[in-house]
Amino acid sequence: MKEFIKSLMLIALTFSAIIMTKSLFIDQAKVVDKEEFVYQTADLIPYIRPQNYIFSFGDLFIKLYDDDYENYNLKNGYDKAFISFFSTPTEFTISRSSKEIWEEQSQRKSLKVVYPFSVDLGDLLTLYDFNTKMIGEIADVHVSEIIFLLNKKENLYLYDHEHDEYYRLFYNGIDVENLSQEELEIIQTSSWIDEMYQYVNLNKTLESSYKTVEERYNFLKAGLKKYNITTPNNLLIPMSNNISYATYDIIKEINFGQHTDAQLENYARNIFGDNLSFVKKSVFSDLSTLFMYGYGDVSFEVNQDGSLVYTSKAKPGTAKKAVDFHEGLAKSIEQVNKMGVPLGSLYLSNYEQIENTNTIETIYSFNTTHNGIPFYNPSMRSGGVVEVRFVNEDLTRVRKDARIIPSQYITDVPYGKSFINIMEYNRIKFENQYKIDQPDTLVEASDFFQMTLQEMTQLDLVYYVKDDMLIPVWHIVILKTHYFIDLTSGLILETNQ
C-alpha cells in the first residue's frame, strides 16, 4: 500500500514539474513578446547600398564596384548627392518615361547607381528621413537604377528592373529670391555629383573602362544589319584584355575540426541567453549540433556544411499582415548579428514577398563583398550568404552560410581571359543554348554567335563560392540563361534559368 502511495506521489510530482516547466516556458515567451522593438532608420542606411557605380563620359564608361575608389568614398558622395536632391525646398513631379529616353540620358555625362534589387522609392526616402511631397505621384514606384545628370541636376531618371518601368523625377521652379541662406546652400550641395565625377575622371584606368556592345561591334550597321534590328545593345562590356582578380582559399565559419563544444555553446548563448538550462542539445552522427528551446519553439542548428540556421515558430492566430520593410530589416540585422562572426560588408541584396491564403511571407536576402565584388553562393536562394524569412510579422527563420577569407590564403593572382576570349572559348555552348532558347528563330546558324552578343542583357563580376575556393567569374545573362564563367580558365561553372 505504501509503495502504491509513493507511486501516486511520484506521478503527481512529475506532472507538477511538467506543468511548472511549461508555465516557465510560457512566462519567458511572454516576456519576449512584451519587449518593444526599437530601431533607428538611419542605422539601416549602410545596408541599402548600390551594387556598382557607372560614370558616363560620353564615349567611355567607368564601372566601379567598390565604395572606396582611390581613397574617395563613393557611397558617402552618393548619399550626400541623394540627400541634397531631396532636400531641395520645393515640390517634386514624377512622370513615366521610356527606355529610349533612359538610354539617351545614359549616354550623357552622368552618374548611374545600380541597386542589387528594386527598392520601393517610398521606403528609400523614409530611410533618409524624407517626407517628400510629389505632384502627379505614381503609386508603387520602385527603383533599381538612378541616373544623376551633370548638366541637368533638377532631374533624376529612375528605372525599375522588376517591373520594367522608367520614370522621370524633377523638382518644380524655385523662387531663389525668397530662399534662406541655408536653403540656398542645400541647392548648391548638388556639386557632390561634380566632385565625384571629376575625381573619377582624374583617376580612371583602362581596367575599369567599358564600352557598349553596339559601339564595340557595330551590329546594327554591319554584322546583323540584314535582320533589321533597330535597338542597339547598350550593355557595357570591358575594354581591357588584362583581367586580373585573385582566387582565394576560403574557410567555413564553423569548422568542426577546430571548434570545441564550449565554442558552439557560446554561439548558442548569443541566441538563447547565458542560461542554457532549458535548452536541449543534440549532436548528430556528422557532428552537426541542434540546440532547441521549449517544445521546438526556438531552435538553432550548427551544420556540418558550415551553415547556421535559426528557427522560431510563428505565433498562432496572427493577422495576415506583412512586416514593415524597415522594421523587418532592422529585426533581420539584429538576429543575424547574434549568429556567429559579424559580417563587415553585409548589405541587403534582395527583397521579396509571397502572398498565401492566410499569410504573407517576406524574405530578406543579404550578401557580402570582397573589394566591392559581391559573393555568389549557389547553395542560397538568391546567391547571397544570409536569408531571413518572416511569416506575417513574425521572424521565423534565418539561414547563414558565410565564408571567411584569411588574408594569407591568397591562392593566385593570374591574368584572366578577356571578355572576347571567354565568349570565343564557349562559342559552341552559347550557340547551342541560343537555339534552345529561341527554337523558332529565323537567324542563320552562322550568325548565332553575334546574336548571343546582341541578346546579352547582363555582365557583372562576382566571386563564386565553390567548395573551399572563392573564384572570380563573369555572371552573364543571354536571353533566359544565366552563365557563371571562371575568369581564369574560361570554364562555365554553372548555368541556370
Look at residue 162 and tell me if it is in a domain: yes
Look at residue 487 and tell me if it is in a domain: yes
User: Which CATH number covers residue 487?
Assistant: 3.10.450
Query: Are 48 and 189 found together in one domain?
Result: yes
pLDDT at 256: 64
Please tell me what DSSP assigns to residue 207. G
Query: Are 174 and 303 found together in one domain?
Result: no
β-pairing, 373-376 vs 456-466, is parallel
Look at residue 317 and tell me if it is in a domain: yes
pLDDT at 238: 92
Domain closes at, from 404, 423, 441:
404
Domain closes at, from 350, 375, 404:
404
Query: Are 54 and 196 found together in one domain?
Result: yes
Please tell me what DSSP assigns to residue 315. P
Task: Encode 34-69 in three state secondary structure.
Answer: HCCCCCCHHHHHHHCCCCEEEEECCCCEEEECCCEE
Q: How far apart are CA 75 and CA 113, in angstroms?
A: 10
pLDDT at 28: 39
Residue 424, H or E segment? helix 419-425
Query: Are 65 and 163 found together in one domain?
Result: yes
Query: What's the residue count for the chain?
Result: 497
Query: Are 419 and 324 found together in one domain?
Result: no
Query: Are 458 and 364 found together in one domain?
Result: no
Find all residues with CB under 8 Å of 305, minimum gap 6, and list them: 252, 379, 401
Look at residue 183 and tell me if it is in a domain: yes
pLDDT at 12: 44
From first to last of its 497 residues, the chain has per-residue pLDDT tens of 444 443 444 344 344 444 444 433 333 333 334 457 888 888 999 999 999 999 999 889 999 999 999 899 999 999 988 888 887 766 788 889 999 999 999 999 999 999 999 999 989 988 888 876 665 566 689 999 999 998 877 789 999 999 999 999 887 655 445 556 665 555 554 577 888 999 999 999 888 999 999 999 999 988 898 998 889 999 999 988 777 788 888 888 877 666 778 888 888 999 999 988 899 999 888 888 999 998 889 999 999 888 999 999 998 888 999 999 999 999 999 999 999 888 888 999 999 999 999 999 999 999 999 989 999 999 998 899 999 999 999 999 999 998 887 665 555 555 667 888 899 999 999 999 999 999 999 999 999 999 999 999 999 999 999 988 899 999 999 999 999 999 988 999 999 98
Report H helices in 108-260: 121-127, 181-188, 191-203, 213-217
Look at residue 372 and tell me if it is in a domain: yes
Handedness of CA 336, 337, 342, 343 (dihedral sign): positive
Residue 462, H or E segment? strand 456-466
Query: Are 419 and 389 found together in one domain?
Result: no
Are 389 and 212 in contact by the 8 Å Cβ rule? The answer is no
Handedness of CA 263, 268, 271, 275 (dihedral sign): negative
Distances (CA, A) of 100 to 215, 234, 455: 17, 11, 17
Q: How far apart are CA 66 and CA 52, in angstroms?
A: 7
Q: What domain range includes position 294? A: 251-404
User: Phi and psi of 373, rounded to 5°?
Assistant: -85, 125
As for how many domains the chain has, the answer is: 3
Query: Are 277 and 293 found together in one domain?
Result: yes
Look at residue 156 and tell me if it is in a domain: yes
Q: How far apart are CA 77 and CA 57, in angstroms?
A: 18
- The tally of CA atoms less than 13 A away on the side-chain side of residue 371 is 12
Domain closes at, from 404, 432, 456:
404
DSSP 232-272: ----EEE--S-EE--EEE-EES--TTT--HHHHHHHHHHHH
> How much is the pTM?
0.87
Query: Are 48 and 191 found together in one domain?
Result: yes
- The tally of CA atoms less than 13 A away on the side-chain side of residue 479 is 15
Query: Are 52 and 141 found together in one domain?
Result: yes
Query: Are 134 and 181 found together in one domain?
Result: yes
Output Rg (C-alpha) for the chain, integer angstroms: 27
Look at residue 233 and tell me if it is in a domain: no
